């Protein structure tokens, strides 16, 4: 009896639960339906607050909660941003999960060269919206380059989906820092060698400089001096695989060299590559190349450069900024790097290119956004000169001064803040700005887009060591150390051509084979070089490289016809 | 497991008198169970099901969980036969390509690589399993002999602790330990000061060391943790057995080999069977974090390969094909381990 009673009680409780659950479900449903209504206004004002969710791929940190620009956005536009920031290393996995879920934030800032958001139908086609004339800044931004910026594949409708986040220039390109690929060398090496002439640089001279210095100074701050570091960490294998093309006088096209007939072919198995790795092999056995090169992760690589013990490496300027910053803040300017351009005999160097527009990378508006017009209006507003100055320079009077002649300048205190990561998280929106379309080049008042690009500011921020160093070479910027920038080929660059799955797979197989074999070739006995090289070439030829080359060539043809 | 619940009701339910005489010996119990299974009177009838409804009801949530999360998702295997692109709403709204993905994975350059990663996965797992099991048993036996309780506790806690470190940290520790002395590689430092080697060894660039490095690192991390089950099994041994052995004049070693080890044998076997199912699924973290181009021929495992060629290249179909392969092999492995244990007349799972 007793048991039955209890069961009855349970049943009653169960029924009540069911009722409650149904009620909850109904409420939830109601809430959902309410959510379905889209917001059709494109006005951003403080009287009508808006919350926009943004998804960003960036190595930049999220802003602090009390960030002053966040506050400004709220006060002036009524916009609150909720961020999700994913580091580039984790982007691949994250994209798959988001596509499978089918729910996206209002704004998607992607760096994905495989265009998975776009082809997965996550992004809204924006051409029609821009044509309404409600977004004048964006419309002007894309007008001249709309063909380059538009999607031309077959998976979704052709058209404009993503605003490139970098290198759409207004007026002249200014700036003194070099961000491209080079064989870098520490300033102290050149200073020690009496500031030798850097023109007609060859691999032999480059390694001779390093070897002479290392013999004289085997120790750096108590640690053994490292002659040459090879960057070969996951995802950055180009540090090891790209140099042959540059040595052969070809601009950075990734895994291929494109000849004068616009015909692309891989160079990993060619003599230009063989000659380079032969030199590396000899230098390795001479003890100049770091034995730990191939096992370093990217973080370990950066840490090693930051110790100041590494005399040289092949890398791209943007890739080791952290190491340079920490060397500078430790006052070790003589351990920071200058770009050199070694080439094979009789070849004109083509290391520096015209900065390439980051097509397919940047913000798009998601299909699941309930307020697409507001999201687009936000991008448009951010692209106005007023907001661009706020995002890039800061607040006038607080972060920079406007001179009587209208030229922007900063005090030493303001320059110091600009380099301080903690200060930046409270006073700048670095992650957001990383993905936003930008007014690079010059503003209509003649000031450069950012303090780094303002010629007077660039020179003023140089340390005394650097000023003296440049004086010795009679140069004014780091860019002056590079080749004169020629006009890029029309199709350029081949590395951001969107490939089919099959071609991507072949590309990965080539990279894997290189990563597997090149260390053996470099670290092997010089006597075994030919044997090891042959083994590498044999395994390369097992791969169906033509699939990759054909895909790249098709991309080049397409660009030549349409851009 | 459900099978067992039906055929041998737990005596404590009180729904039915206990069918078997209480006995302390496992062997006897097993025999009784076997007899019971053969007994025609023990057939499953609706009456019996009704009598055990409470137990069955308790099994329902688990059963639902299994069905919902282990069987229903199998429809996703359809992706293996498609040129799958995410974001098209339904997985039926895709281009079907037949066995193309299977050819892609099992033949040509990928096939060669895949065969290699399967061998690596098995090699690393089996080595880790053997070294780990052996180490855990030895440590459990040794700990069991420590009579000073506070000291034993301290020992146990120290050996557990690495288990709570994440693999990323363990992998970083290992890579530092194995690096050059100038980067903090104390293993090389030790070897050199003992004059075992003249020049530091670059352990992480030598493919033939990689499996051992994986097994050794896992041993360091999981040794203490793995002893828990064995220690628990040891405490369950009837102290009377030890007392009787002592009366018969058995020493410490005799007791260890004749009582402790045989008593935990069923635990060892069950754990081995369970772990054999994971042989193709473990070993992602260490190969991923410690592996590099130089050793990839020995380091890359199935999961790392799938991550790189499947997820990172956006080729989800290839990842699913590899997943199917892993499932099939796992089922075969567990089945054969179970069969082998049965042959050896050991405790089995099914």
% of residues, chain B, pLDDT over 70: 86
Largest CA distance in chain B: 78
pLDDT single digits (tens) A403-428: 999 999 999 999 989 888 889 999 99
Shortest Cα distance from B262 to chain A (angstroms)?
A: 45
In terms of residue numbers, what domain contains A261? 181-351+462-493
State both tokens at A56: 């960003």
Do A508 and B313 lie within an 8 Å CB cutoff?
A: yes
Residue in chain A nearest B316 by alpha carbon: A96
Residue A526 lies in a domain: no
**Cβ-nearest to A232 among B113, B182, B293:** B293
Give A12's contacts (C-beta < 8 A, 6+ positions apart). Answer: none
Contact list in B for residue A294 (CB cut-off 8 A) is 205, 292-294
Q: CA dist B325 to A298, A503, B105, B118, B311, Å?
A: 33, 24, 10, 10, 17
The partner residue sitting opposite A92, judged by closest CB among B109, B297, B312, is B312
Question: Which of A90, A115, A233, A295 should one mutate to test binding to chain B, selecting the residue with the greatest count of B CBs within 10 A?
Answer: A295
Cβ contacts of B311 on chain A, cutoff 8 Å: 92-93, 96
Mean pLDDT of B88-114: 89
Interchain CB distance below 8 Å, B309 and A508: yes
pLDDT in tens, B1-18: 333 333 333 334 334 444
Query: Is residue B166 predicted with pLDDT exceeding 70?
Result: yes
3-state secondary structure of A325: helix
Of A390, A464, A391, A466, which Cα lies nearest the Cα of A430?
A391
Q: Could you tell me if residue A387 is inside a domain?
A: yes
Contact B314 A523 (CB under 8 A): no
Boundary of a domain, candidates A453, A480, A508:
A453
Are A73 and A101 part of one and the same domain? yes
pLDDT at position A283 is 96
Q: Into how many domains does chain A fold?
A: 2
The domain ranges of chain B are 2-78, 100-343
ipTM over the 0.95 cut-off? no
CATH number at residue A340: 3.40.190.10
Decide which of A470, A493, A516 is a domain's last residue.
A493
**Same domain assignment for residues A377 and A421:** yes
Instruction: Average the pLDDT over A521-538 and give the result.
Output: 96
| CA distance, residue A305 to nearest chain B CA (Å) | 13
Are A263 and A115 found together in one domain? no
Spatial neighbors of B148 by CB under 8 A, at least 6 apart, are: none
Tokens of A182: 């080079």
The dihedral over CA atoms of B94, B96, B100, B105, expressed in degrees to the nearest 10, equals 40
Q: Which of residues 469-508 of A touch B (CB under 8 A)?
A: 501, 504-505, 508
For residues A443 and A438, give the distance between their C-alpha atoms in angstroms, rounded to a whole number: 11
Measured between alpha carbons, how far is A127 from A365 in angstroms, rounded to an integer? 12
Residue A93 lies in a domain: yes
Question: What is the CATH superfamily name and number for domain B100-343?
Answer: MetI-like (1.10.3720.10)
Q: Are residues A475 and A447 located together in one domain of the fold? A: no
H or E segment and range at residue A108: strand A107-110
Q: What is the β-pairing status of strands A310-316 and A226-229?
A: parallel
The answer to whether the CB atoms of A501 and B113 lie below 8 A apart is no
Q: Which of A300, A268, A281, A274 is nearest to A519 (CA)?
A: A281
* Residues A223, A268 within the same domain: yes
| Test the A interface: residue of B104, B203, B294 with most A CBs within 10 Å | B294
Is the four-CA dihedral A71, A74, A77, A81 of positive or negative sign? positive
| Residues A76 and A213 both lie in one domain | no
Contact status of B53 with chain A (Cβ, < 8 Å) = no
DSSP per-residue codes, A478-515: SGGGSPPPPPPPTT--GGG----HHHHHHHHHHHHHHH
Which of A493, A516, A545 is at the close of a domain?
A493
Mean pLDDT of the B287-301 span: 89
Please check whether residues A144 and A195 belong to one and the same domain: no
- For A494, other C-beta atoms within 10 Å of its C-beta total 22
Per DSSP (E only), the strands in A362-450 are 362-365, 401-402, 408-409, 440-441
Distance from CA of B101 to the nearest CA of A (A): 11
Determine how β-strand A50-57 pairs with β-strand A107-110. Answer: parallel
Chain A: give the shortest CA distance to residue B223, in Å: 27
User: Within this chain, do residues A206 and A328 fall inside the same structural domain, yes or no?
Assistant: yes
What is the reported pLDDT for A89?
77
Distance CA A196, CA A205 (A): 10
User: Looking at chain A, which residue has its C-alpha nearest residue B315?
Assistant: A501
Check residue B123 and give its pLDDT. Answer: 93
Q: Same domain for A338 and A469?
A: yes
Residues 6+ apart with CB under 8 A from B73: none
Q: Where are the alpha helices (DSSP H) in A180-270?
A: 187-192, 203-216, 238-241, 243-247
Asked whether residue A50 carries a pLDDT value surpassing 80, the answer given is yes
Looking at residue A172, its pLDDT comes to 75
Select from B111, B314, B315, B319 the residue whose CB has the most chain A CBs within 10 Å, as the one to mutate to test that interface: B314
Element (H, E) at A427: helix A421-427
User: In DSSP terms, which residues pair with A184 in a beta bridge?
Assistant: A313, A339
Q: Within A251-342, where are the H helices?
A: 271-285, 298-307, 321-329
Alpha-carbon distance A401 to nearest alpha carbon in chain B (angstroms)? 46
- Please tell me if residue A341 touches chain B, with a CB cutoff of 8 Å: no
- Calculate how close chain B gets to A146, using CA atoms only, in Å: 26
The whole-number average pLDDT for the span A309-315 is 97
Is the Cβ–Cβ distance between B137 and B219 less than 8 Å? no
Dihedral angle, C-alpha B253, B258, B264, B269, nearest 10 ° = 110
Minimal Cα–Cα distance from B32 to chain A, Å? 33
- Do A95 and A237 belong together in one domain? no
From the list B297, B309, B316, which residue is nearest A516 (CB)?
B297
Alpha carbons A147 and B319: distance in angstroms, whole number: 35
Q: Which two tokens stand for residue A15?
A: 């029924």
Token pair listed for B55: 């137990």
> Is A112 a domain residue?
yes
Among B256, B226, B236, B230, CA closest to B145: B256
Confidence (pLDDT) at B1: 36
- Do A66 and A160 belong together in one domain? yes
């Amino acid at each position: 009896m007793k048991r039955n009673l209890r069961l009855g009680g349970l049943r009653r409780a169960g029924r009540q639960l069911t009722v409650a659950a149904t009620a909850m479900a109904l409420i939830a449903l109601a809430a959902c339906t309410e959510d379905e209504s889209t917001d059709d206004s494109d006005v951003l004002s403080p009287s009508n607050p808006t919350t926009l969710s943004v998804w960003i791929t960036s190595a930049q940190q999220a802003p602090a909660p009390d960030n002053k620009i966040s506050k400004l956005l709220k006060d002036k536009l009524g916009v609150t941003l909720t961020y999700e920031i994913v580091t580039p290393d984790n982007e691949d996995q994250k994209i798959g999960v988001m596509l499978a879920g089918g729910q996206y934030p209002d704004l998607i800032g992607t760096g994905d060269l495989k265009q998975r958001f776009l082809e997965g139908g996550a992004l809204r086609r924006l051409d029609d919206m821009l044509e309404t004339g409600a977004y004048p800044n964006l419309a002007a931004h894309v007008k001249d380059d709309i063909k380059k910026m538009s999607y031309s594949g077959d998976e979704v409708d052709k058209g404009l989906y993503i605003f490139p986040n970098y290198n759409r220039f207004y007026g002249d390109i200014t700036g003194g820092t070099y961000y491209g690929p080079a064989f870098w060398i520490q300033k102290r090496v050149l200073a020690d060698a009496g500031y030798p002439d850097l023109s007609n640089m060859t691999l032999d001279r480059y390694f001779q400089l390093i070897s002479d210095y290392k013999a004289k100074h085997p120790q750096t701050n108590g640690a053994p001096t490292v002659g040459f570091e090879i960057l070969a960490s996951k995802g950055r294998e180009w540090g090891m695989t790209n140099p042959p093309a540059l040595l052969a006088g070809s601009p950075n096209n990734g895994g291929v060299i494109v000849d004068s007939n616009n015909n692309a072919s891989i160079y990993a198995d060619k003599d230009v590559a063989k000659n380079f790795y032969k030199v590396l092999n000899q230098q390795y056995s001479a003890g100049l190349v770091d034995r730990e090169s191939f096992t370093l992760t990217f973080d370990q690589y950066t840490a090693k450069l930051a110790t100041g013990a590494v005399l040289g490496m092949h890398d791209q300027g943007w890739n080791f900024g952290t190491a340079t910053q920490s060397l500078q803040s430790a006052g070790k300017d003589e351990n920071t790097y200058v770009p050199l351009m070694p080439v094979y005999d009789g070849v004109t160097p083509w290391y520096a290119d015209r900065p390439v527009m980051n097509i397919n990378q940047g913000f798009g508006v998601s299909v699941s956004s309930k307020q697409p017009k507001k999201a687009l209006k936000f991008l448009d507003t951010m692209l106005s000169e007023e907001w661009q100055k706020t995002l890039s320079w800061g607040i006038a009077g607080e972060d920079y001064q406007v001179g009587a002649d209208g030229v922007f300048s900063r005090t030493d205190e303001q320059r110091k803040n600009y380099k301080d990561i903690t200060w930046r998280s409270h006073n700048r929106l670095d992650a957001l700005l990383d993905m936003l379309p930008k007014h690079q080049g010059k503003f209509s008042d003649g000031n450069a887009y950012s303090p780094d690009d303002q010629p007077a500011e660039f020179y003023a921020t140089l340390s005394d060591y650097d000023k003296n160093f440049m004086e010795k070479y009679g140069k004014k910027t780091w860019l002056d150390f590079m080749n004169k920038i020629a006009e890029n080929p029309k199709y350029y660059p081949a590395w951001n051509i969107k490939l089919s799955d099959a071609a991507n797979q072949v590309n990965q197989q080539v990279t894997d084979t290189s990563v597997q074999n090149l260390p053996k070739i470099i670290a092997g006995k010089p006597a075994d070089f030919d044997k090891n090289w042959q083994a590498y070439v044999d395994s390369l030829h097992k791969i169906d490289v033509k699939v990759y080359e054909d895909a790249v060539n098709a991309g080049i043809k397409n660009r030549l016809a349409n851009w | 497991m459900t099978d067992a619940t039906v055929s041998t009701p737990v005596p404590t339910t009180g729904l039915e008198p206990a069918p078997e005489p209480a006995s302390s010996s496992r062997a006897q119990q097993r025999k009784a169970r076997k007899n019971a299974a053969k007994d025609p009177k023990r057939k499953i009838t609706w009456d019996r099901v009704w009598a055990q409804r409470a137990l069955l009801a308790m099994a329902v949530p688990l059963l639902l969980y299994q069905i919902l999360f282990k069987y229903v998702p199998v429809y996703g295997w359809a992706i293996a036969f498609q040129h799958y692109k995410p974001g098209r709403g339904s997985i039926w709204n895709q281009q079907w390509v037949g066995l193309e993905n299977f050819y892609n994975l099992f033949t040509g350059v990928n096939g060669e690589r895949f065969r290699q990663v399967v061998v690596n996965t098995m090699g690393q797992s089996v080595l880790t399993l053997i070294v780990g099991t052996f180490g855990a048993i030895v440590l459990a036996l040794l700990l069991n002999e420590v009579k000073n309780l506070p000291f034993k506790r301290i020992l146990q806690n120290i050996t557990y602790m690495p288990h709570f470190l994440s693999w990323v940290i363990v992998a970083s520790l290992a890579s530092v330990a194995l690096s050059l002395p100038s980067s903090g590689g104390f293993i090389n430092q030790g070897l050199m000061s003992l004059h075992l080697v003249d020049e530091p060894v670059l352990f992480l660039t030598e493919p033939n060391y990689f499996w051992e490095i994986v097994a050794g690192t896992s041993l360091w991390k999981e040794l203490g943790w793995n002893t828990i089950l064995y220690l628990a099994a040891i405490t369950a041994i009837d102290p009377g057995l030890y007392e009787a052995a002592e009366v018969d004049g058995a020493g410490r070693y005799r007791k260890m080999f004749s009582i402790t080890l045989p008593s935990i044998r069923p635990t060892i076997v069950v754990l081995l069977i369970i772990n054999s199912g994971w042989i193709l699924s473990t070993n992602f973290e260490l190969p991923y974090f410690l592996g590099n181009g130089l050793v990839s021929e020995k380091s890359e495992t199935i999961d790392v390969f799938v991550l790189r060629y499947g997820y990172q290249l956006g080729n989800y179909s290839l990842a699913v094909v590899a997943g199917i392969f892993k499932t099939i092999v796992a089922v075969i492995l567990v089945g054969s381990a179970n069969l082998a244990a049965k042959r050896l007349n050991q405790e089995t799972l099914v």
